[in-house]
A and B are shown apart, each in its own frame.
Chain A
Amino acid sequence: MEYSNLRRQIICMKKSLFDQGYLDEQFNQLEELQDESSPNFVEEVVVLFFNDSSRLLTNIEQTLEKYPQDFYQLDSLVHQLKGSGTSIGAIRMKNECSVFKAHCNDKSLEGSLQKMKREHATLKKKLETYFQLMRQAGPRERAVNSRK
């Protein structure tokens, strides 16, 4: 009874993450790679992403505060952030990075940075909840999910 509730919650949550555009097909690709030899693969990769991306956002913020602004460095940092976001299917993060890059020549970078940070925080919270549900459901749920 409790298990099927959990399952429903997970399926709902995943659907909403996709419908609202937080995640795309690449996330499914990662779930397909998950198997018995690495049953927590997706969560591990997502954790790597948030470690990396948190560091990158901090660096971006620090770089923005320097004068004159080092656009080469900024571009490099955002490129890295965009790349790893794309690799986990975090499509909204990826788009925020593209917007940021486009604004590199404007004065509106500060606003873009705040948007990126908000997007990052929202995605982190949602994925933390998602993986919490997955862990509650146990290994059987992973097998079911990765078949999608």
Chain B
Amino acid sequence: MAAAAPSPAPVPSSSPKVASPKAGDRKVVPVTVAEEVVLEEKHVLAVDDSSVDRAIIAKILRSSKYRVTTVESATRALELLGLGLLPDVNMIITDYWMPGMTGYELLKRVKESSKLKEIPVVIMSSENVPNRISRCLEEGAEDFLLKPVRPSDVSRLCNRIR
């Protein structure tokens, strides 16, 4: 995804939010350039109850230059989204089977919400169950990935992220 970005300015991944010009701040021109770069940097919310899988999906996404927020449950994801703490999420990628609320239920809630329904939701699962896959796609999932997820799976998604 980053390869397609026309902006030449390198984006340090440790500073995802570029401040708008504050009073008494130095230059004007770099802020404009930085703003363009911020628009290019997509934010993905990754939901998985497994700490191993969270670490892996986050690494894959960050290697593709996405900004990543990880949460360990669908409930927590909805909480953060609902509270407006993640206002700029470009994509949600979630495990299907999680204790408590499943990724499927999360998908449904997102698609039912007027605020959130435009966000593409990708489901990950370790099980290849055709019924499950078609149900998710019918419910509006952007894609369905089989675990273990590979970097090539993720780069396939990059064009779909608005």
Binding site for B on A (CB under 8 A): 26, 29-30, 32-33, 35, 37-38, 41, 44-45, 48-49, 51-52, 76, 79-80, 82-84, 86-89
Q: Is B32 an interface residue (CB 8 A)?
A: no
Report whether A83 and B59 are in contact in the complex, using a CB–CB cutoff of 8 Å: no
Q: Looking at the assembled complex, report how far the CB atom of B86 sits from the nearest CB atom of chain A, in whole angstroms.
A: 23
Other A-B pairs beyond A52-B51, A84-B53, 10, CB < 8 Å: A30-B56, A45-B56, A82-B126, A83-B50, A83-B147, A84-B50, A84-B52, A87-B50, A87-B52, A88-B52
Report whether A26 and B63 are in contact in the complex, using a CB–CB cutoff of 8 Å: no
- 1/0 per residue B57-88: CB within 8 Å of A? 00110110000000000000000000000000
A-B CB contact pairs (8 Å), 15 listed: A33-B59, A33-B60, A33-B63, A35-B63, A37-B13, A37-B62, A45-B55, A48-B51, A48-B55, A51-B51, A83-B50, A83-B147, A84-B51, A87-B56, A89-B148
Report whether B148 and A87 are in contact in the complex, using a CB–CB cutoff of 8 Å: yes
Report whether B126 and A86 are in contact in the complex, using a CB–CB cutoff of 8 Å: yes
Residue total for B at the interface (Cβ-Cβ under 8 A) = 19
Q: Is B16 an interface residue (CB 8 A)?
A: no
Contact of A87 with B53 at beta-carbon distance under 8 Å, contacts A33-B59, A79-B97 already known: yes
Report whether B148 and A52 are in contact in the complex, using a CB–CB cutoff of 8 Å: no
**Please, how many angstroms separate the alpha-carbon atoms of A76 and B99 in the complex?**
8
Report whether A83 and B53 are in contact in the complex, using a CB–CB cutoff of 8 Å: yes
Q: Is B150 an interface residue (CB 8 A)?
A: yes
**Please, how many angstroms separate the alpha-carbon atoms of A87 and B147 in the complex?**
7
Q: Is B151 an interface residue (CB 8 A)?
A: yes
**Please, how many angstroms separate the alpha-carbon atoms of A87 and B146 in the complex?**
11
Q: Which residues of B contact A79 (CB under 8 A)?
A: 97
Q: Is B49 an interface residue (CB 8 A)?
A: yes
B50 touches which of A44, A52, A89 (Cβ 8 Å): A52
Q: Looking at the assembled complex, report how far the CB atom of B68 sits from the nearest CB atom of chain A, in whole angstroms.
A: 13
Q: Looking at the assembled complex, report how far the CB atom of A92 sits from the nearest CB atom of chain B, in whole angstroms.
A: 16
